[in-house]
Structure 1
């Protein structure tokens, strides 16, 4: 790996554990059929892309889920609970690892996210870690629904690079989704595929001589 000065982290399954299978089961219970086509790690219905880029509101997202379900009487609360079942949490010591990395590099967060998940995560961070949000862990945190762009499109990477005057070749992007690394590579960045559980983040960084 060439000399790096900047690191951009993905959030889900790099820092924060998420469980697609758990969310799939919850959506099936809501009456969603063909779940592997509707919602999976590597592909999903366009409603999720639209929600992650702020193209639709939470109310429109819930209406879309209800439309795709065989049960038209599901409530907003049931939909939110099923959708948020994806979210597990941050393993012990991961925040401390991020602060160590921040001492050595300029660090950023780049997450495909949405308003329902973002609000749940903010409440979780307050409840479990007494943190207002993620802002203290990075120089800046970027979320797709606020940028109106999402990974793996190269434009989202180019925007982060440009806004922070980052040289692509000196910038490492870490993500658990191979398809997202393609966009980062197209933008000229170095990439690292996270294949281990987030609790092993420090171990992975040490293996690659980042820490």
Structure 2
């Protein structure tokens, strides 16, 4: 019996343009692909292991002629709209009180500050969850097993009583390996508000 639903944030509730953002960044920095060093820095930042100033300084130091604002804009360009009907969906779930609701997102300070500034109902959305975990605040990141084990321990959960929803396959695979029920949603064709229609066998 499912007692807890754990949601990702990006491309589950708020729409992202990951492909467009990558293309924009490659063009801005004059790259054909992202080197391992950049991927490592981005990952450290997403885990909150380096500060925002240090993160921006790294890009400024390594890409001459690129301004601080261009770096920030390029980093945030992937964040698109947050349809209000998805807020209504999670508010209804909270009101029904049938499930413990948790958000578990790989994100960072720049992104979450941008969302707070541009999504007028962010605090209302956040208040719908029993716990709201952002990778840069807990220094853990999906798909590492440690982040799922942290959520289980913090909330005294049995993974076999949890559904984890994420648009990234490696994240849902990692959760499934630990015993979670999962939904690897396709943001192009599926919407979280149809959870109970699309995954009737879980509920």
TM over 0.5: yes
C-alpha change, 1:80 and 1:133, in structure 2 (3 Å) is farther
If the length of structure 2 is used for normalisation, what is the TM-score?
Answer: 0.89
Check if 1:107 corresponds to 2:101: yes
Alignment partners' CA distance in 2, 1:32 and 1:115: 25
SS at match of 1:59: helix
Offset at residue 92 of structure 1 (A)? 3.3
1:194-205 alignment runs, 5 A limit: 194-197=185-188, 200-205=191-196
Q: CA RMSD, aligned part only?
A: 2.1
Aligned length: 199
SS at match of 2:84: coil
Residue in structure 2 matched with residue 138 of structure 1 by the alignment: 129
Residue in structure 1 matched with residue 148 of structure 2 by the alignment: 157
If the length of structure 1 is used for normalisation, what is the TM-score?
Answer: 0.85
Alignment partners' CA distance in 1, 2:187 and 2:119: 22
Conserved in 2, the CA contact under 8 Å of 1:6 and 1:107?
A: yes
- Aligned match for 1:56, one of 40, 50, 54: 50
C-alpha change, 1:65 and 1:79, in structure 2 (3 Å) is same
Residue in structure 2 matched with residue 10 of structure 1 by the alignment: 8
Alignment partners' CA distance in 1, 2:166 and 2:40: 21
C-alpha change, 1:142 and 1:82, in structure 2 (3 Å) is same
Alignment partners' CA distance in 1, 2:60 and 2:158: 44
Conserved in 1, the CA contact under 8 Å of 2:9 and 2:104?
A: yes
Alignment partners' CA distance in 2, 1:27 and 1:121: 20
Identify unmatched segments of 5+ residues in structure 1: none
Residue in structure 1 matched with residue 74 of structure 2 by the alignment: 82
C-alpha change, 1:27 and 1:190, in structure 2 (3 Å) is same
